[in-house]
Amino acid sequence: MVVIPIFYHVDPSEVRNQTGAYGEAFTHHEENTDEERKEKIRKWKTALRQASNLAGYDAKNRYESTLIDEIIEKVHGNLPKILGLNKNIVGMDSCVDI
């Protein structure tokens, strides 16, 4: 599995530490909820913390078109890994060509 975090109009540290809007949203979700849902929220927090520690893309102070081009290049370069394909499969170039 390949995960490519994209931080769009949010600081990665806000996601990592669940502060700001993320902290407020989690606080809201945790209020008046049962234990099963609280466990699900804890898993969301853990997943977001882990994702924010990965190398990703931060949209702050960048042209969106440049960011999109970089993401497309990254995904296109990882297609064989994402799809679980061997790069040497005959005839696959036309199927994964953008």
- Name the residue range of residue 38's domain: 9-53
pLDDT-derived band at 39 (thresholds 50, 70, 90) equals: very high
pLDDT, tens digit, 9 for 90 and up, residues 3-20 = 788 888 888 888 889 898
Whether the predicted model's global pTM rises above the 0.75 cut: no
In a domain, 13, yes or no: yes
Most distant CA atoms of the chain, gap in Å? 56
| Residue located via tokens 């853990």 | 46
Buried b (16+ CB within 10 A) or exposed e, 50-78: ebbeeebbeeeeeeeeebeeeeeeeeeee
CB atoms within 10 A of CB 9: 8
Q: Domain count for the chain, please give it.
A: 1
In a domain, 65, yes or no: no
In a domain, 85, yes or no: no
In a domain, 97, yes or no: no
